[in-house]
Structure 1
Amino acid sequence: MTDQRTPPPPQVWPTLRATDARALIRFLVEAFGFEETAVHGAGDRVDHAELSWPPGGGIMLGSVRDDAENPWHLDPGTFGAYVVTDEPDKLFARARAAGATIVREPFDTDYGSRDFTVRDPEGNLWSFGTYRGEPR
């Protein structure tokens, strides 16, 4: 039997690369409230990391690699995500206090969501809001 209080494991993993992956992990935990689930790598290099979003879902990230021929090559700062939160104003204050670059302060949309947008130290775009998507 499945515990209904435990979010299901993610089935889609947005991914990003970072020039300083360990610093980005610390920022995402401090500024947004992600939880560090796994970090693999030696020294400053992160080969693979997973960060969980407490209400459900998560992201994967790692250090940028010099190998542009790699089929999974991603440039740092090219990631963007929309993340659902029930407390956008509280999360905005937390992100601001942690040094996130403010792109758009909290606002109400015409479809009933409360959103804001920031950039992390690597330049990735993060939008948070109450909109959960259309029902299936």
Structure 2
Amino acid sequence: MAGVRGTSTASPDLCPALLYEDAKAAVDQLTGAFGFVTGALYEAEDGTVLHAELVRGNGMVMVGSKGRGGVFDEAMAGCGPAAVYVVVEDTDAHFERAQEHGVEILCPPADKEYGSRDYMARDVGGNVWTFGTYAPEGPEVTA
């Protein structure tokens, strides 16, 4: 198993995990079109993506290949696409980048009644991604 490890300053507490028929194409799309950075990439000798960690800001999504077997793969069998929201500073610039990479756009950038500017796209695995300026505040944490 080959691995490439990136650097990170903080570990997120929540990491969506998505499985793809072609995880290599998904990693390429998520990094190229959506601006994620590869934090880690582990591949089998045949190039199958065993596990990837793609970072954006202080968040991360974990990506893997379908059909490898194991408890997680079996638990995810038959699951449909997921939806993920990602905060971006400039929705229109992000949208342009996605369009340049041929991403399927479901909804172009639009101003929302709650003050955000969002657009929606579908990735190579059928997952729906919304990118926008709305940044929810986390819960108040007490020590």
Counterpart amino acid of 1:21? A
The 1:114–1:7 alpha-carbon spacing in structure 2 relative to 1, beyond 3 Å, is: farther
TM-score where L is the length of structure 2: 0.82
Report the CA distance between 1:44 and its aligned residue. 3.2
- 1:92 equivalent in structure 2: 95
Report the CA distance between 1:134 and its aligned residue. 4.1
Counterpart amino acid of 2:53? E
The 1:77–1:30 alpha-carbon spacing in structure 2 relative to 1, beyond 3 Å, is: farther
Runs of 4+ in 1 over 6 A off after TM superposition: none
Show CA shifts across 1:58-97 (max 9, x none): 1001000264964542558612100000111000000011
Show CA shifts across 1:24-71 (max 9, x none): 101110001100111112123111110000x21110010002649645
Q: Does 1:17 align with 2:19?
A: yes
Please, which runs of 5 or more residues in structure 2 have no aligned partner? 1-7
The 1:112–1:74 alpha-carbon spacing in structure 2 relative to 1, beyond 3 Å, is: farther
CA distance in 2, matches of 1:74, 1:108: 37
Task: Find the partner of 1:125 among 114, 125, 128.
Answer: 128
Identical residues among aligned pairs (%):
38
Q: Does 1:78 align with 2:88?
A: no
**Matched residue of 2:119: which SS?**
strand
TM-score where L is the length of structure 1: 0.85
Indicate if the aligned counterparts of 1:77 and 1:122 stay in contact, CA closer than 8 A: no
Counterpart amino acid of 1:57? G
RMSD: 2.1
CA distance in 1, matches of 2:77, 2:14: 17
Report the CA distance between 1:23 and its aligned residue. 1.2
If each structure's strand is expressed as a fraction of its own residues, which one has the higher value? 2
